[in-house]
């Protein structure tokens, strides 16, 4: 005897099989989207659904558009910036020197009090 599993071959939560038992599916239409790499994605939408202008390519992740000859450009990825790089964008070297001098002066004054 192989085991007492009465629901062998089905998964938990599976509903009745067959469209006759589930009801009719809504009418659908397939829309083609092309990415910059030339991949085509064809998701299906309900006939009364609003069709998006762009759809992410399932193969490469780039955005795809409905115009095969003119797909949307790949988004520009910004390189990782360190905290120091962001600080240097906000402050000039002269500002940094002034802030450092002020902080050192406060530190020296505290040490004199001790």
pLDDT in tens, 12-37: 666 666 556 666 778 999 999 999 99
Report whether pLDDT(75) > 90.
no
Q: Give the angle 64-70-75 at the CA atoms, nearest 5°.
A: 50
Residue 48 backbone phi and psi in degrees, to 5: -100, 10
Task: DSSP letter for 71, please.
Answer: P
Percent residues over pLDDT 70 in the chain: 80
Annotated binding site for Zn(2+): 35, 39, 57, 60
pLDDT band at residue 101 under the 50/70/90 scheme: very high
Mean pLDDT, residues 45-58: 94
* pLDDT (0 to 100) of residue 78: 84
Q: Are 59 and 22 in contact (CB under 8 A)?
A: no
């Amino acid at each position: 005897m192989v085991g007492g599993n009465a629901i062998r071959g089905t998964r938990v939560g599976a509903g009745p099989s067959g469209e006759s038992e589930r009801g009719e599916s809504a009418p659908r239409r397939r829309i083609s989207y092309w990415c910059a790499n030339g991949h085509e994605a064809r998701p299906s939408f309900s006939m009364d659904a609003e069709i998006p202008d762009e759809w992410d390519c399932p193969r490469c992740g780039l955005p795809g558009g409905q115009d095969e000859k003119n797909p949307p450009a790949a988004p520009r990825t910004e390189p990782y910036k360190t905290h120091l790089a962001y600080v240097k964008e906000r402050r000039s070297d002269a500002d940094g020197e002034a802030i450092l001098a002020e902080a050192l002066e406060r530190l020296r004054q505290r040490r004199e009090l001790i």
